[in-house]
Every structure is written in structure tokens, then in C-alpha cells.
Structure 1
Amino acid sequence: MLLTVIYLLASVSFILGLKMLSNPASARKGNLIAAAGMGLAILGTIFLYEESDGTKLGNYGWIFGGLIIGTVIGTLAAKKVKMTAMPEMVSLFNGMGGACAALISITEFNHLAETLHQPHDVQLGEIFPASAAYSAWVGKSIVILAGLIIGSVSFSGSVIAWGKLNGKIHDFAFKGQHLINGLLFLVLLGLAGWIAGVYENANTTVFYVLLILSLLYGVFFVLPIGGADMPVVISLLNSFTGVAAACGGFLYNNKAMLTGGILVGAAGTLLTILMCKAMNRSLLNVLIGSFGGHAGGVAAARAQGNYKEISLSDTAILLTYAHKVMIVPGYGLAVAQAQHACHELEKLLTEKGVEVKYAIHPVAGRMPGHMNVLLAEADVDYDQLLEMEAANEQFSNTDVVLVLGANDVVNPAAKTDPASPIYGMPILEVELAKNCIVNKRSMKPGYAGIENELFFQPKTSMLFGDAKKVLEAISTEIKNL
């Protein structure tokens, strides 16, 4: 009874924590509440869980040893990770969740196979396979196999996503790969159906073949997807991990685990849909379109004409005497670790009476909410962050837009060029402002592999250099005015 109450409290904490994550101001507290609920559920399971025969878990040395090792590794990794590497860490941690779900399925299948091979009622098991015994086998094995396939795909896919985000693995696609992926998926379903349907002989060899093919499918699933689509892929893999975890909760009749898995799966799915909507693309197009890749499908850069540069002193003057400035952060800001320098510039301008806002594109960076997390680390006021729709309404009344490392999310080709791979994707309409200053290291195209038309427009000026150094130099110039 006490364990049931603990699971109920844990489930409520998960729901409350998820709700609080919807607001940046309460997100940190929401994380702590959900973590406390998970800790309570873990301790309750360890000390209060009993089998039907009254047997408790035991093996406390192994259990707490694993908890301590995992806690130390997770804490050190989270504390040492740079903000530029946050997407990789999220992807890797998500993959570990998928691996855990797959390991649960492996363990439970072996237990189920051992039980099956023990003497049982021949009349129930063999003469009348449609009996309760057969139904129980099919039902439990389906859950086990679902957890195995989904967890394995999430694990291997997340590892590939981690490698692509940190640049160790490049996009790779070969002719007919999507067809092979489809055939491999059908093979997975066929093997799972065969295992679930064979009551008389639980074939562990076929089970492990299914495991290997599931891992391979996860690799093939993520490998051809372009880098610009990684935020969507990470969100989708996160939902996979949630569903796999829910399968584990179903197997163990663990309400907290089941609730947590369902919440993660549902939230990841909804976020994936929202991300696709923000890019004006279907999920199918993301998965098979290979958009934003570095491989052979990259669109050729087109000659757009000349661009003009602006000096640091002219930038400082333009910003200081503006009434309203909009800052557009992108991945380049994260690469340069320039969020604190950006906040310092913002405070300087605010002290001089300039209204400063940040325009946030939903898929800026390398994971959902990357820019929000980056700016939160620098203590930027949440009220200054504008979502894309709100920002687009204000650009026409903005004196200066300062684009920091963003590329494809401000490219007007998304609205004007039907041949562009980003055509139809909603963008931040920075070209509507009176002046647009773009800070980049070079004229190199973004992840979509195409030239940015914004760079060559009359109201746009390029300010080359590392974002952190440039912002610090601008702040110095402003102080000297």
C-alpha cells in the first residue's frame, strides 16, 4: 500500500515538473521536483517492492553500487559539459535511456524463456495453444519485443546523432538506402511476430538476431538525416526512449515507470510535431529528405553579388543611437561561448535607453530550446525573449537587428526561392528591420549548404569574427563613446 502511494506521488511530481518546464522561469524548479519524485520512486522500489511470494529485491550492494557510479558519472558530465556540447550530451543521455530499456527486455525475455522451458501444463501449452497460457505468453512477449526494438533503435540512433552533432560522424546516404531501411523494418516486425507467435519454443538465438538488427536499423535510420534536422531527430528519439521505458513499466507493473515513460513519449512526440511545424515540413520529409546534409545532396552556392562590411566602431555607434535593437542568436553564438558577452552588451545598451529584445527561432541551434538554455545560463531576463511569431511582428519597427551566428533561420530564400531546400520554412524576417548586422566567422553557408540571400541585401552589413571577441570589442567601443 505504501509503495502504491509513493508511486502516485512520484507520478504527480512528473506531471507537475513537466508542466513547469513549459515556462523558462519555473523550468529549473520543475526539473528538481521531477527528480525528487524519481528519487522517491527508486528508493521505494528498492526497499518496499515485494514479489507475489514475499521475496524482496536484495542485491543492495550491486544496486547502490550502480546508483553511485551512475550519479558520479552523470554529475561530472553535466557540470563539465560546455553549452556548445549540450545537444550532444542530451542525445547521449537519451541513448542511455534506450539502452536501459533494451537491457530490461533482454533480461525479461531470458526469464520468460526459462519459465517456458520448465514443466508446464501440456494440455494448456500444446494441445490448446489459444488458452490463457498462450495469450499470456503473446501479451508479455509483445511488450518485451517492443521495448527491445524501440530501445535499441533509440540507443544506436542517439549515438549516431551524438557523433554527428560533435562532428565525428558525417551524413551518409547511399542509393536505395530508404528502401533498405523499409525492408529492414519489415524484417524486424516479421521476426518479432514470429517470436511472439511461437509458444512452444522461445528461440533466444532469433531474439538476439532481432537485437542486432534493431541496433543496425537505428544506425541506418539516423545516418542519412541532415544536420539541420538534428533537433527534430533528437526530439523523436527522446519519444522513442519514453515509449521503451513505458514498456518496462508495464512489464514490472511499476506505475511510476509507466507514467514517466508515457509522459516522455507523449511530450517528445508533441515536441517533434511542433518542430516540424516550425520548419513547415512533415515528419516523413524530415526522415527521408536528408535535408541539411554535408553529403552529395548539398545545394550548390549561387553567386549573389557583393556584400558590404561594417566596422566595430560603426556598429557600436549604430547600436548606441538606436531606439530598438533585436538580437538573433544562433549556433555560432554557442560555438564562441559568447552568451555572457552578449548579455553584457545588452545591459550596456539598456543603460543608454535602448530597448533590447532577443528573437528566438524554434530550431535555432542543435536541439529544441538550445538558445533559451544558452541565454538562461547568462541570466538573460526571460521577458526579453520573443518567439518567432512575436519577433516577426516587431522587426519592421526595429532600428537594428544583430544576427549572431544564425544562418538558415534568417534566410529570405525560404520565402522567395521555390527551388531552395528550405523553401516554405518559417524564418525570422530580419530583413524587415531598418538595419541588419550579421556576425559570422566567414561567408561559409549554413547547415542547409546554400547561400544566404540576406547577406547581399542593401540593408545588411557583415561583421566578421568570433562572436565573443566581436561582442566584447563592441562593448568597449560603446563605453568609449
Structure 2
Amino acid sequence: MDFWSFTVEASYFIAAVLFIMGLKRMGSPKTARGGIVWAGVGMVLATVVTLWHPAMEAGVGRYFLILLAIGIGGIGAWISGKRVQMTAMPQMVALYNGMGGGAAAAIALVEMYSGAAWTHGTTVLILAVAGAIIGAVSFSGSLVAWAKLEGVQKKTIRLPQQHLLNGGVALATVGLGVMIVMAETSAPLLVTLLLVTTLALGLLITNPIGGADMPVVISLYNALTGLAVAFEGFVLGNAAMIIAGTVVGSAGTLLTFLMANAMNRSITNVLFAGFGVDDGAEAEGPEGEMKSVEAFDASASFAYSDSLIIVPGYGLAVAQAQHKLWEFVQMLQKEHGVDVKFAIHPVAGRMPGHMNVLLAEAGVPYDMIYDLEDINAEFPTADAALVIGANDVVNPAARTDESSPIYGMPILDVDKAREVYVIKRGKGTGFSGVQNALFFGDNTRMIFGDAKQVCSDLAGGLKQL
């Protein structure tokens, strides 16, 4: 091994260590920012070394195009990252994830169109085909997920004989892949047909899935993107791509299973059951009326409580109410001595960690934030619970109603608190279309209105006491 090759491989090893250490540090809110920086440094190192690699043998013009693409992509990502609202973060994750899958598929397609994939042997060709299929499915599927979360696609589309159609397109895709592998040289027509069927497959698989399952789907496509990148790393002989893709793929797979388990559902059920397909439709639910209360009365109840558990949901993010909420909580703690804790469900919000990031943005200390397993036992002894914009994760029907689509899903036991207050814009069913029995409970009072305004009114009510 010459000096240049040794330097490149050593740099890739260092980049891999930075990726893994960065991912490790992302496991805690206290070190997550540093973890992102570590992983970012690793990515910069891997990119620079790849451009420096002697095997590139690129001319000035090719380097110019590469740097131009990096500049356009980097500037676009920087601007969009700065402007994106917390409520739109899941959409951005879906979009960026789709771009990663599309890039992996594009690498494979270039190798196959040029005929270079056939010069590396059958194994590399198989990996190129597999990477193209997985990357293209992740690309088109992630775009559908983005469209649903962004509200561009408001209705879930289910075609007649949907599963049969999906199976037929999948078989055609595999058949084309086998034909490409068996071909003796470049087969542009087969490669083009493969691209068409894989993109169609991603659309067909994702379209029937309800909006409530989109976070799990995004996580699954993230894992597939990592796998596609790893495969293309083998095709290009790039160790950094292999390691980074493997890390992303394994982490995404683990996260997907954790999210599915938190919903008490299997991955196949998420992909094929169509839960939440009637997005926004009025759903059947418990009989009775929701009992409303004014913010001032609720604030008085909180002020005379010894303990309060707050459950944030997507409604908190939509209203950007986290700062007003924290202002209210600080008043409860300092002026009334109330013990306040925050309870986070694994699938609260639109992506894992959504609520944690939202509360951290407002300055809520990490030691006040508890996971489901750590906080559930405290609800029966809590004087009050406050739910802000959460629905399925606090629905007691998951424990009692076997006919409910969410039956068996682990939930936060909010209904067991002495008093329950729910901040909600209106009487709708929420993102999944499942009505919440909690809202009709004898110990539940609804505070209707925008979460930010209600939190401001709660703080105002405390000042009048």
C-alpha cells in the first residue's frame, strides 16, 4: 500500500469513528449537539479525502462540477435548515432522507448505464442492482411521506386490488434485476425499465399508508437509504460509504422497530393494514359530551395542586407554545411550589424526539422530562395532568376497547390522575382519525383554544391569584 492509499484509508477509519461517536452522543439531549458536530466533521473529512483520492483521476472541469453541486446543495440545506419551523421538521427529514436514497440509486444507475458495473464481477453487479432498487423505492416513497405530512397530498389513495398490484410490480422489479445481472454487458433498456418500476413501487407501497403511520414509514425509509448507500459503497470501493450506510441502516432499523413496538404494531401491519387511511374523517367514538372550562379556573386548580404532569403533543409544536408553557411552569414552581414533570411518549409528535427537542428549545431542564416507562406509575398519585395537543398516546381506549385500532398500544396513563385538563383547538379526532375516550372522562375538562394563547392565559390566571 502506497502513502496516498494508506492516508485515504486511515482518514476513512477516523471518519467512521467520528460517525459512530457522534451517533452515540446523539443518544442524550445533553450531548446531542456535540454528536451532530462530531458526525459532521467526519462527513467533511470523508468528502475531502474522497475528492483527494488518486483513483478519481478527475480533470479540472469535473472537480468544478463536483464543487458546484456541493455548493448548491450546501447553501440550499443551510437556508432551508435555518428557516424550517419545528412543526415542519418531520417533512424535512423525509425530504432529505429521500434525497439520500435517490443519490444512492443514481450512483448505481450511472454505473449500470456506463457498463462499469459489469467489469467488477457478478457480486458487485448484484449489489448495484439491489442498491438501485432500494434507493429508488426510498426516494419515491419518502416524497409521498413528505407530501402527506406537508399537506400537499390530503387524501390517502387506495387502488382496487392494491396488494395484488404491489406484488405484481415488485415481481416485475425483481425480474428486471435478475435479467440485468444475467446480461453479459450494459443493458440500458432494462435499466430504464428497472428505474420506472422501482419508482412506481415506492409510490404504490406508500400511498395507501395512513398519515398516522408516516413517522414509522420515514424511519423505515431512512434505514433503507442507509442500506442502499452501503451497497453503493461496495460498488465504488468506498469504505466511508460502506461504514456510514451501515451505521444509518442499523440505527434506522432499530428506531423503526422501537417505534412500531411503542404502537404495539408490527412493521407489516404498518405497511399493509392502512391504519388511519381516512385522514381527517369523523370517527365513531365514546358517547357523551366534552366538559369545557376556562383557563383561569384551570390555573387556580394547578396553583393549589401539589403535583402536575404535563403531556406535550403535536398541538404544542403547531402553536409554538413551548416558551409560554415554560413561563407558566416556572410561575407554578417558584410562586406556588408545585412539583411539575413532563411526560413524553415514544411516538409523541411527528418523529422520535420531537417533543424533547421542542421542550429543550424553551429551556426546560432535562431532569424534568420523563419517558413513558419512568412516569406512568406516578399518574395515579398526581393531583393534576395537563395534555397539550396529544391524542392517541393518552387514549384509554388502547387499554379497554378491543375494537379500537390502537388497542394494545402502550399509552400514558393520564386518565388515572385526580384531575385532567386538555388543551385542544376543537372537538376533532386528531391526526389518526381515532376519537379519544379521555376527552369524555368524568375527571377531564377541556380548554378549547390555541395552545399558545391558552398557556398565556394560564400564566395570566396565576398572576391574578
Q: TM-score range by the shorter chain?
A: over 0.9
- 2:59 pairs with 1:76: no
Query: Out of 54, 57, 62, which is 1:55 matched to?
Result: 57
The equivalent residue for 1:38 is 43
Deviations 1:254-308 (A, max 9, x none): 1111100000000000000101110111111111111122269x68323511221
Query: Out of 340, 345, 348, which is 2:323 matched to?
Result: 340
- 1:450 & 1:22 partners in 2: Cα distance? 32
CA shift, 1:382, in A, is 1.3
- 2:162 pairs with 1:177: yes
CA shift, 1:55, in A, is 3.2
Query: Out of 85, 91, 94, which is 1:91 matched to?
Result: 94
CA shift, 1:480, in A, is 2.3
- 2:130 pairs with 1:146: yes
Alignment of 1:6-405 (within 5 A): 6-47=11-52, 49-51=53-55, 55=57, 58=60, 59-112=62-115, 136-169=120-153, 170-199=155-184, 201-294=185-278, 300-352=283-335, 353-405=337-389
Decide whether the 8 Å contact of 2:104 with 2:228 is kept in 1.
Answer: yes
Decide whether the 8 Å contact of 1:173 with 1:295 is kept in 2.
Answer: no
Letter aligned with residue 222 of structure 2: N
Deviations 1:426-445 (A, max 9, x none): 11110110110011011101
- 2:282 & 2:262 partners in 1: Cα distance? 22
- 1:93 & 1:303 partners in 2: Cα distance? 40
The equivalent residue for 1:458 is 442
Decide whether the 8 Å contact of 1:299 with 1:421 is kept in 2.
Answer: no
Query: Out of 447, 451, 454, which is 1:467 matched to?
Result: 451
Distance 1:143 1:212, change over 3 A: same
Decide whether the 8 Å contact of 2:285 with 2:437 is kept in 1.
Answer: no
Distance 1:278 1:478, change over 3 A: same
Distance 1:138 1:450, change over 3 A: same
Distance 1:272 1:57, change over 3 A: farther
The equivalent residue for 2:390 is 406
The equivalent residue for 1:4 is 9
- 2:97 & 2:25 partners in 1: Cα distance? 21
Decide whether the 8 Å contact of 1:307 with 1:462 is kept in 2.
Answer: yes
- 2:34 & 2:205 partners in 1: Cα distance? 35
- 2:279 & 2:430 partners in 1: Cα distance? 14
- 2:222 & 2:47 partners in 1: Cα distance? 21
Decide whether the 8 Å contact of 2:124 with 2:234 is kept in 1.
Answer: no
Deviations 1:133-162 (A, max 9, x none): 7xx532121111111111111111111000
Q: Secondary structure at the match of 1:25?
A: coil
The equivalent residue for 1:121 is none
Which runs of at least 4 in structure 1 moved beyond 3 Å after TM superposition? 54-58
Letter aligned with residue 464 of structure 2: N
Decide whether the 8 Å contact of 1:235 with 1:269 is kept in 2.
Answer: yes
Letter aligned with residue 307 of structure 1: M
CA shift, 1:448, in A, is 2.6
- 1:55 & 1:421 partners in 2: Cα distance? 57
TM-score, L = length of structure 1: 0.92
CA shift, 1:343, in A, is 1.4
The worse-fitting range, judged by mean Cα deviation, of 260-269 and 143-152 is 143-152
CA shift, 1:57, in A, is 6.4
- 1:279 & 1:370 partners in 2: Cα distance? 16
Decide whether the 8 Å contact of 2:385 with 2:417 is kept in 1.
Answer: yes
The equivalent residue for 1:128 is none
Structure 1 residue runs without a partner (length 5+): 117-132
Q: Secondary structure at the match of 1:24?
A: coil
Query: Percent identity of the aligned residues?
Result: 47
Deviations 1:82-133 (A, max 9, x none): 01101101110111111111111111112325x86xxxxxxxxxxxxxxxx7
CA shift, 1:33, in A, is 0.3
Decide whether the 8 Å contact of 2:279 with 2:432 is kept in 1.
Answer: no
Q: Secondary structure at the match of 1:11?
A: helix
Pairs aligned (count): 457
TM-score, L = length of structure 2: 0.95
- 1:295 & 1:90 partners in 2: Cα distance? 21
Distance 1:315 1:194, change over 3 A: same
Q: Secondary structure at the match of 2:121?
A: helix
Decide whether the 8 Å contact of 1:10 with 1:256 is kept in 2.
Answer: yes
Deviations 1:350-389 (A, max 9, x none): 2131111111111111112211121122121111111111
The equivalent residue for 2:416 is 432
The equivalent residue for 1:124 is none
Deviations 1:194-229 (A, max 9, x none): 110122x43111111100110111111111111111
- 2:442 & 2:143 partners in 1: Cα distance? 44
Q: Secondary structure at the match of 2:152?
A: coil
- 2:22 & 2:399 partners in 1: Cα distance? 38
Alignment RMSD: 1.6
CA shift, 1:449, in A, is 1.6
Q: Secondary structure at the match of 1:84?
A: helix
Letter aligned with residue 363 of structure 1: V
- 2:159 & 2:255 partners in 1: Cα distance? 29
- 1:425 & 1:99 partners in 2: Cα distance? 34
Q: Secondary structure at the match of 1:164?
A: helix
- 1:273 & 1:315 partners in 2: Cα distance? 39
